[in-house]
């Protein structure tokens, strides 16, 4: 299982396990959910798209339902105790399962926001010997609901720190989820907001990703025109004197086809999303979608790629060659005036080095701190369920 996915699902499982419930049917639901979640996670290889797929699968909504059900169940029990006026229930006794849950998760930084609610609950518990007075203060701050909502917000916030903030199509579901949990005051309220969100999340991120798809296509055509299968391939053949005619003609034909295709794609981009080439270059996120990149850290937190100056080479080729009537011969003749240098794709060892650099840069972010904490530790999901996540 992908390490990042492993970390995310562990957060959700810890979340459920920390909320003690005496309700046997809910306990069974938790066990079933854990199995379903693990089966789903095993089928996912891409941490970047995991969260969206997690949403789409309905497992996120189910998680919310379950956690809410546990919290509301606890609340109903406490209210019954309160109304009955039975002297046996004291805040200290009532808080026992919460202390157990707290001890279970207290060393997990990803849960800090939820842990703060537990601590607040304990603090109030120490002030009161009477259960009704205690619950009154707890209700004034809606703490029982916050055990669920703050915990979820905390996990989502930490997940967010592992993302590329400019990647709106990716961050949108997380940001909207945080908003929904923040705006909810109880389980049914959260349930409603999640239902509204489900439609929004199905509709909006793909729309946000549409320009990226077009720009990917455009970049591919420019790269074929400009790169080793086109212009640069020809220049290398001439420079090294190794100039077989079929390969030479093949590259020249690629230049010609790519020129036509790039022009057409640019026209489609203008018509479809109203962007000019300069708009693409000016967009900090989109300009790098012109080239091939690979995620090397977290949820698209860092990428390995060719030198960014390649964008200048591509922009020059697009503006001064592809979109003009300059001949293929003239296109090569003008090359020395550019003096932008040559470029190459990253090699395997450089991909590894990029991973190291990225990890070192972001090591203090909560997402990566949590990931580091899991490293080397085999941790158990629940008890007696037969599932164990191995160290990665």
Which position among 31, 189, 316, 385 is part of the footprint of another protein (CB under 8 A)?
189
CB of residue 10 to another protein, shortest distance in Å:
24
Q: Got the DSSP string for 181-224?
A: HHH-SSHHHHHHHHHHHHHHHHHHHHHHHHHHHHHHHHHHHHHH
* 20 touching another protein, by CB under 8 A: no
Could you give the CA distance from residue 167 to residue 89 in angstroms, rounded to a whole number? Answer: 51
Q: Which residue among 24, 88, 107, 199 contacts another protein (CB under 8 A)? A: 199
| 145 in Cβ contact with 139 (< 8 Å) | no
Does position 335 interact with another protein (CB under 8 A)? The reply is: yes
- Residue 353 binds to another protein (criterion: CB under 8 A): yes
Stretch that binds another protein, among 10-18, 101-109, 200-208, 372-380 (CB under 8 A): 200-208
Is-contact 59 40, C-beta < 8 A? yes
346 binds another protein (CB under 8 A): yes
Residue 358 C-beta: closest distance to another protein, Å: 6
- Among residues 35, 99, 191, 263, the one that binds another protein under rule CB under 8 A: 191
Instruction: Give the nearer residue to another protein in terms of CB position, either 111 or 226.
Output: 226
Distance CA 183, CA 315 (A): 45
> Quick one: 95 or 108, whose CB is closer to another protein?
95
Three-point CA angle 282, 283, 285, nearest 5°: 140
- Whose CA is closest to 144, among 168, 165, 118, 126? 118
Of 39-47, 105-113, 292-300, 383-391, which segment contacts another protein by CB under 8 A? 292-300
Contact by Cβ (8 Å): 371, 3: yes
Task: Using the structure block, give the residue that is written with the tokens 């697009």.
Answer: 318
Per CB under 8 A, the list member of 14, 150, 164, 371 interacting with another protein is: 164
- Binding to another protein in span 233-272, by CB under 8 A: 234-236, 238-240, 243, 245, 248-249, 252-253, 256-257, 259-261, 264-265, 268, 271-272
Distance CA 157, CA 112 (A): 11
């Amino acid at each position: 299982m992908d390490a990042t996915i492993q970390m995310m699902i562990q957060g959700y499982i810890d979340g459920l396990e920390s909320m003690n419930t005496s309700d046997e049917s809910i306990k069974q639901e938790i066990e079933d959910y854990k199995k379903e979640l693990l089966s789903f996670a095993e089928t996912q290889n891409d941490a970047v798209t995991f969260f969206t797929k997690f949403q789409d699968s309905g497992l996120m909504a189910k998680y919310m339902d379950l956690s809410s059900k546990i919290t509301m169940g606890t609340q109903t029990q406490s209210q019954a105790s309160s109304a009955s006026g039975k002297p046996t229930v004291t805040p200290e006794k009532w808080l026992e399962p919460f202390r157990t849950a707290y001890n279970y998760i207290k060393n997990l930084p990803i849960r800090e926001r939820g842990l703060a609610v537990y601590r607040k609950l304990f603090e109030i518990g120490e002030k009161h010997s009477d259960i009704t007075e205690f619950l009154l203060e707890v209700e004034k701050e809606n703490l029982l609901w916050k055990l669920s909502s703050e915990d979820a917000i905390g996990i989502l916030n930490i997940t967010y720190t592992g993302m590329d903030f400019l990647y709106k199509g990716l961050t949108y579901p997380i940001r909207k989820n945080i908003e929904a949990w923040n705006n909810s005051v109880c389980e049914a309220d959260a349930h409603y907001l999640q239902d509204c969100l489900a439609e929004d999340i199905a509709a909006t991120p793909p729309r946000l990703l549409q320009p990226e798809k077009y720009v990917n296509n455009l970049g591919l055509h420019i790269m074929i025109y400009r790169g080793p299968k086109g212009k640069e391939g020809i220049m290398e053949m001439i420079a090294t004197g190794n100039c077989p005619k079929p390969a030479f003609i093949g590259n020249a034909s690629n230049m010609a086809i790519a020129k036509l295709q790039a022009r057409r794609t640019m026209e489609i981009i203008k018509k479809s999303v109203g962007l000019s080439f300069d708009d693409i270059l000016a967009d900090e996120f989109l300009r790098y979608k012109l080239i091939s990149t690979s995620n090397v850290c977290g949820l698209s937190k860092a990428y390995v790629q060719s030198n960014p100056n390649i964008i200048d080479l591509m922009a020059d080729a697009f503006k001064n060659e592809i979109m003009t009537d300059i001949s293929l011969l003239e296109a090569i003749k003008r090359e020395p005036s550019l003096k932008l240098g040559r470029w190459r794709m990253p090699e395997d060892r450089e991909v590894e080095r990029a991973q190291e650099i990225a990890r070192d840069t972001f090591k203090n972010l909560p997402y990566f701190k949590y990931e580091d904490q899991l490293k080397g530790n085999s941790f158990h999901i629940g008890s007696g369920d037969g599932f164990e996540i191995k160290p990665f």
